[in-house]
Amino acid sequence: MANVADFFIDTLKRAGVTRIWGLPGDSLNAFTDALRRDSGDDAIRWMHMRHEEAAAFAAGAEAELTGELAVVAGSCGPGNLHFINGLFDANRNRVPLLAIASHIPSAEIGSTYFQETHPQELFRECSVYTELVSDPAQLPWVLEIAMRTAVEKRGVAVVVVPGDVFFADAPDRRPTAPIRAAGSTVLPSASALAAAATALNDAKKVTILAGSGVAGAHDEVLALAETLQAPIVHALRGKEHIEWDNPYDVGMTGLLGFSSGYKAMESCDTLLMLGTDFPYRQFFPSKATVIQVDIRGEQLGRRTPIDVGLVGGVKETANALLPLLQGDRSSKHLDDSVAHYRTTRERLDDLAVDDGKAPVRPEYVARVLDELADQDAVFTADVGSPVIWAARYLHMNGKRRLIGSFAHGSMANAMPQALGVQGVDRSRQVIALAGDGGLAMLLGDLLSIRQNDLPVKIVVFNNSSLNFVELEMKAAGIVNFGTGLDNPSFAAIAEAMGITGIRVEKGSELRGAIAQALATDGPVLVDVVTARQELAMPPSITLAQAKGFSLWALRTVLSGRGDELIDLADTNVWRRLFH
C-alpha cells in the first residue's frame, strides 16, 4: 500500500513539479525513498545540494524564472534552520515555493528531543502558510492548501511532517485537480481611475517609476510615457521588464542608480509609481504629487505619502487610464531627462574599459559579459558590488533575465540561484556574477554544480574585500576594519572540484577568458582579480556622506594606512583621467 510520502510525490507530480532541491536526512528518509521508487518517465528529479540554504536559493530562482511552483526539502532541526535565509529571500521576492520540512518523531515532539525545534514558529515570518501534519488524514488538505496558497499569494508555503508520518499509510482521497495559478485581472475602480487621470492631466512634469510589477506591461507603460511625455525611471527589480526598446528610459534611481534617474524624479511635479515597492524614502521627490498603482492594496503609501492610490495590475490599469489622459503636452521635462541620461550613460561607459593596468576594472568585467553573453542569457548577481555592476552594465532586451536577492539583500545568492535557473533548462546560458565574499560563504555548493551536471558559468569579482561594506564605511567616515579577505585562487579550487577554472589578473586577458568560458560545454569558474578601491557612488551624495568620506580619508591617514588613500585616488581619479 502507498504511504504518505508516495501520496506527497503523486500530488507534486500532478501539479507539474519536475525537480526537488534539497539535502537528505533521517527524518526525510521515507520521502527520498519514495522519490527513488518513482522511476517512471515523469519521475521527479532529486537535485542534491550540500547546504539547505543553497537549496532554498536554487528553488526560489527556479520559481522566479518559471513563475511556477518550485519545491525544496530538508531534514529536521538544523536542516530546518539552514533553510531560513533562502526561504526569506524567496518569500520577499514573492515567488511560489513549497518547502517540505521534515520533523522529529511525532511522539517526541515537546520533549526537547535530539534536534528538536519548533518549525511552525521558525517559518511563520518567512512564509505565507505554515502547518504541521500530525495525522495522515490531514495531509491531502494541508498539502493542497499550502500549494494553492504559495501559487496564489506568490510566497513560501511550508508543510512540516514528522518522519514517522511519512511512513504511515496514505489517506484515501481522490486526486485533486492539478494545482496551477488561476489567471485573474484586477482593475481599479472608476472613481480611482478618474482621480488619477485628473491629477495627471493637471501635471506639467510627470515622471514614471517602474518596478517589477510592470512585467508583461512593457508596451502599455511606454504608451503612458508617450501620452504623458514622461521619462521612465526604473527600480532595480523593474530593469529586466522595462529598460529595453524604451526611448523614455532614463536609468535607475536608488543606491545603485544613476544621477539621471534621481534628477528625473526630483524635478517632477507628479510621480506615477507603477508596480514598485522601492524602499528608499530619501530618493522620492519631496514636493511632487504621487500616484501609486499596485496589485496589492496594502502596498499603497508604504514608502512615501501618496495623493491617489489605485489597486490593480499595471497592464490593465494603464489600458483603462490611457483614454482618460490628455495629450499634446510639452516634452521639455522628458527631453531634459533623456539628455541628462545620455550624458550619465556616456560617463559610466567611459569607466568600463581596459585601462592597461592591474587589477581589472569591475565595470569592464560587467561590460564584457554584457557584450559576449547570449541574447537570452540569465544572469544572477551577488548582493554587494557585483549587483551594482550588473545593474549599470548589463543590458536587458526582453529575453534576458536578471535574478538576485534584491528585496532580502542576502550575500551568497548568485551561485545557488544560478543552479536553480540552470536546472530548468540545461541548454540556456546562465551566468553568475559572484562576489568573493558571497561565493566563499556557500563555497561547498560548487560541488553541487558538478554533481548535478549543470553547465553554470561563474564570474568571480575577486577584490579581496567585502567591497560594498567598505564603501558604506567610507561614507560613514569609518576606517575600514574587518572587511579584508585573504582569498585563495578560486580557479584552482574549481579545478579541484572538477570544474574548469580560469584566472584573470589583467584586463588584456579578460575578453578571451570570458569567450572561452561561454564556449565551454560544462561548468566554468572565471576568477577575475578586480580593483578593490573602485567607488560605486550613489546618484546623489548627501552632505553627511561627503563629510563621511572626508573623515574616512583623515582617519585612514592618521591610522597609518595612507596607502589606501593613494590606491583610492589611483583607481578613481588618475585611472579615469588618463586611461
Is 115 an annotated catalytic residue? yes
CA distances from 356 to 305, 426, 507, 575 (A): 49, 36, 6, 10
Catalytic residue, chosen from 7, 17, 31, 52, is 52
Catalytic residue, chosen from 114, 125, 326, 516, is 114
User: How far is residue 352's CA from residue 23's CA, in Å, rounded to a whole number?
Assistant: 41
- The grid coordinates of residue 13 equal 507530480
User: How far is residue 355's CA from residue 507's CA, in Å, rounded to a whole number?
Assistant: 7
User: How far is residue 336's CA from residue 332's CA, in Å, rounded to a whole number?
Assistant: 6
Contact (CB, 8 A) for 556 and 477: no
User: Nearest Cα to 161, choosing from 10, 27, 33, 6?
Assistant: 27
Catalytic residue, chosen from 71, 165, 383, 456, is 383
Please give the single-letter amino acid code of residue 339. A
Other C-beta atoms within 10 Å of 483: how many? 17
User: How far is residue 430's CA from residue 384's CA, in Å, rounded to a whole number?
Assistant: 20
Contact (CB, 8 A) for 535 and 568: yes
Antiparallel, parallel or unpaired: β 457-462 and 430-435: parallel
Is 481 an annotated catalytic residue? no
Catalytic residue, chosen from 57, 283, 284, 468, is 468
Catalytic residue, chosen from 68, 108, 115, 138, is 115
Q: Which residue is listed with cell 530562482? A: 61
Contact (CB, 8 A) for 342 and 363: no
Contact (CB, 8 A) for 80 and 59: no
User: Nearest Cα to 17, choosing from 69, 65, 72, 94?
Assistant: 69
Is 114 an annotated catalytic residue? yes
User: How far is residue 477's CA from residue 326's CA, in Å, rounded to a whole number?
Assistant: 49
Query: Which value, in Å, is the radius of gyration of the alpha carbons in the chain?
Result: 25
Phi-psi region of 95 (alpha: psi -120 to 50; beta: other; left: phi over 0): beta
User: How far is residue 349's CA from residue 346's CA, in Å, rounded to a whole number?
Assistant: 5
User: How far is residue 129's CA from residue 190's CA, in Å, rounded to a whole number?
Assistant: 34
Q: φ, ψ for residue 320 (rounded to 5)?
A: -75, -30
Is 533 an annotated catalytic residue? no
User: How far is residue 578's CA from residue 391's CA, in Å, rounded to a whole number?
Assistant: 26
User: How far is residue 30's CA from residue 487's CA, in Å, rounded to a whole number?
Assistant: 41
* Residues designated catalytic: 52, 114-115, 383, 468
